[in-house]
Structure 1
Amino acid sequence: MKICVLGAGVIGLTTAWCLAEAGHDVIIIDRHASTAKEASAANGAQLSYAFVAPLASPATLKKLPSLLLSRDSPMRIRARLDPALIAWGALFLLACRPAAVRETMSAQLALAALSRSELTRLTQSLHLSFGLRTAGKLVIHRSARDFKAACRSVAATGEEPGQQILSAAECLALVPALQFDAAQFAGGIFTASEQVGDCAAFCAALTVRLRQRSNVAWLLDTSIFGPVRCGDKLVAVHTGKGQVAADHFVLCMGAASAAFARACGFYLPIYPLKGYSITLTRPPDARVLRHSITDMERKLVFAPLARDGRSAVRIAGIADLERNDMTLDGRRIDILRRAAAELLGLDAAGDIAPWCGLRPATPDSRPIIGWSPLDGLFINSGHGMLGWTLACGSARLTADMIERNRPASETGAFALRRAA
């Protein structure tokens, strides 16, 4: 079959690889002149297979007023009176129910396990180099109440291999780079099996491999304007370089997926969560960060990376509900600067490589993977803050479902109908 992949971020590229590997003729379209230019460019770098809790939860619901009203909150609403946000927000509130959270956790853990397996396979078979390392991840909790809840969650779900509940003193012993005093936080959960990797470097390496395949064609620097329908079937897309026809299309356009779906005549519950990151090249005299860290209260992540032969730290987070605004807000970058100084003692006054991007979020944090109401259009989008973690597993499911093979993981939890 000829299959057109719409979007060349980490979701689109992994999807294109799985489809091309299965023998299909693949064409990749993206509006940018090169791959991975949006949410895949400088994300948090954590491959977080064990920590896939959704943003929507009873705990988030309780904290929502303070989260949204505080100027320095990690989450803010910047889009006023937006009908799309109102519709998305109503579904978000429904997704905060405990039963919905449990369903999401179960589905995401299964998809994360598949994704880890697929990433390992691709890395080894294609000899991809992108700084992949099993660094372990420490999730720190500032409040005793949140820490006790996290400990209960670990006990209820069963500990991951190598997962430990640590006191504040034990956290400081594990991560000497932390500048905390033991009295400043309650404790942490450490998972030794968690990984880090540079998503942009992965995309660049996979792009090289895709360009070596004779059954993959490219249309980069090409805007996608809308669908070409024949009755209830999508037969082509309008682009800046003319119509592109195919047997099937896979929607991997990130935050732009919802607009394309509207043009196709259906509602896709995806809204952009604007995130930020800074990347600090570690000065020679700074202490090395060996494990990745998540500051649960502030919703910030700190990941050790290797870039151009030097060690670096990626600090990322923030979730602003801000419709399609790519303006780099200096006040949000300052939050990351201060966090780097307070948590790790890193000077973020110099060249910090600031970045912002729009994460395509669904109300329940689960991606949408499955056939759309429009015949011929498959959806693989809406991965929110877990796109890097879930990309390879989502691509595997997509290829299996398009080929009508038995998928490697349960797919009903990711169907569009569960979210609409």
Structure 2
Amino acid sequence: MSTATALIVAAGRGQRFGTERPKQYAPLGGIPVLRHCLLAFLAHPRVDGVRVVIHPDDRPLYDEAVQGLDLAEPVAGGGSRQESVRLGLESLERSAPAFTLIHDAARPFIDQGTIDRVLGALSERPGAIAALPVVDTLKREADGRVSRTEDRSGLWRAQTPQGFHYEAILAAHRAALGETLTDDAAVAEKAGLAVALVEGSPANIKVTTQDDLESAERWIRSAQATEMRVGQGFDVHAFGPGDHVMLCGLRIAHDAALVGHSDADVGLHAVTDALLGALGAGDIGSHFPPSDPQWKGADSRIFVSHVCDMIAERGGRITHMDLTLICERPKIGPHREAMRRQLAALLEVSEDRVSVKATTTEKLGFLGRGEGVAAQATATLALPVV
């Protein structure tokens, strides 16, 4: 899997912010705005390097903000954001990463899922940006009055990170010397590069004014008013006649099937119970009783999605899922990564928040005799304190 270098643009002066200290070094929840986004990129498994583009006058502020972090040496920016990005890209020529993610330091709340989506799109396109669809009605103004209503269909609000194949975006920036373009996607478009749109995040705000910083402080205070919940789930199903088993939503060819009222997906049943346990909301049987004929042969992904909706309604989020499959057969190893991807997609979390493991009982007991499959899951949730 190709890795990427993140280029964090922090050379701006922030004229609209209204203080001598540039906004990227302003404290947010006791931590500089810049440090928030650096921590997110440093934590991502596919980002193997992070470099910051700074204003030369800000080196003392930068050193204070990044103390203890494993970063590449910063590079001095230019007189505009566009020039700063080009200089940052040129500083990466020696390492020449496959991909580069360009992110504004003033966006402190970038999340792992958004980074995942941008990087994922780069397997098909030379560029990809995080964005949100425009939902507000747009008005055109003339002389202080509404002159007309604009069609908002197909319009998106661009965010960062904006990701690109490194060599392509470097060439595009060099070709755009002397021009004034609003973001790196515009530079790529000018060079004829296809740029994909992927879903951003409403939380991925840009701190431009003092009001923005105050809103971000309120967001942090709200986010801090959460409690961590842990739930456990266990399930077991015996083998019966059939030619495949369902595990973590995957159909796996086998000389027997797992027996159950639904599709007998023992992995997803354990996951469902773990999530319900963390919520304190009963167990899978109380929500999907086997006596109810509507669940006969049901796809167990329905059960997991239902509990995910319950978590969302409570304002919670899944922070980690750890699943262990216990069996002699079928062999889990060849399917482990596919299971992990499927489970991450189902839970709507990044893959680094999901673990799928396998073990045996060393030939002991009914599992050791190959009579069935068991699963044990541990779910971790963040829930608002009520």
* TM-score, scaled relative to structure 2: 0.22
Compare relative contact order (CA 8 Å, sep 6+) and give the higher one, 1 or 2.
1
Structure showing greater Rg: 2
Q: TM-score with structure 1 length normalisation?
A: 0.21
